[in-house]
Amino acid sequence: MRETDYIFRGDTVEFMATLPVDCANLIIADPPYNIDKDFGVGSLFTDHDTWLHWSRRWLVEAKRILHPQGNIFVYALHHNACYLQCLLYEIGLVYRRQIVWFYENGWSKYKNGPACHYEPLFWFAKSASSTYHTMREPYKSKERLKHPIKKNGKVWIPNPDGRQVGDVWHIPTLAGRRFASERVAHPTQKPLKISHRLVQHFSNAGELVVVPFVGSGSECVAAKQLGRRFVGAEINPDFCSIAEQRIADAARSETEIAT
């Protein structure tokens, strides 16, 4: 395998075919949803069947390169989530959990139905014991913790790091003025907060993160900042440049902090 910490400019299936078996400790994939979103490279799919066939191709390659204790996360949208989940089962991966990324600050184009405030994020692996480091967050009620709490006759002692994080993640999208400093020119940019969570809790320091669809580069930046290696692919040269600049900025910030 060639050097890490780089972005392949081209087709992701071609890119993953060059990677060795079992090399990826974590795969984070944010694939095209086949909903006519403009990614700057023209129409990617002629119809649903073409998209479905292509989805199977890249997922099969992803399974081949996934480490036996590794994890794969696949972003989806309610339009087509069921197809991707079925493919993940069909190729023989092990279901770990469906994460619900919930946000209230997004905007919705729906006029004849409820606004959409979530995206499903599928977590699969080759093993039910794949890498996972417990996530915790502050308890909601600090007043309640001032008094002894009994469970099954035993006094429950709260964890000093807080309660375990569940499978509904309340993380804002990058819409609005307060996220202007992070936002770049990409139509489906994922927040660094969610990328950090995936990298930090589902891989180990020094391991390899593979990003089949680099896009804005959030997952690559998170890997760089958290001491992981990364490789990724992106077909749009403008997005490649955006991601590479973000990665360079992250590396420069680390150097400045170190000195």
Res 29 pLDDT > 90: yes
User: Which pLDDT band, with edges at 50, 70 and 90, does 37 fall under?
Assistant: low
Q: How many domains does the chain have?
A: 1
Decide: 178 and 204 in contact? Cβ < 8 Å.
Answer: no
Q: What is the pLDDT of residue 55?
A: 96
Mean pLDDT, residues 220-230 taken together: 97
Among 144, 115, 239, which Cα is nearest to 189's?
Answer: 239
- Range with the poorest average pLDDT among 128-132, 153-157, 197-201, 254-258: 254-258
| Tokens describing residue 176 | 């609005």
Q: What is the pLDDT of residue 47?
A: 87
Q: Which residue has the higher pLDDT, 116 or 220?
A: 220
Give the domain extent around 64.
6-137+165-258
Among 180, 182, 201, which Cα is nearest to 249's?
Answer: 182
Q: Which residue has the higher pLDDT, 183 or 21?
A: 21
Query: Residue 66 is part of a domain; what is its CATH number?
Result: 3.40.50.150
Q: Is residue 117 part of a domain?
A: yes
DSSP tag of 147 = S
Residues 192-203 pLDDT 10s: 999 999 999 999
Res 40 pLDDT > 60: no
Total-model pTM: 0.91
Q: What is the pLDDT of residue 176?
A: 85
Mean pLDDT, residues 100-117 taken together: 81
User: Which pLDDT band, with edges at 50, 70 and 90, does 144 fall under?
Assistant: low
Write the burial class of residue 215 (CB in 10 Å: 0-12 exposed, 13-18 middle, 19+ buried): buried
User: Which pLDDT band, with edges at 50, 70 and 90, does 95 fall under?
Assistant: very high
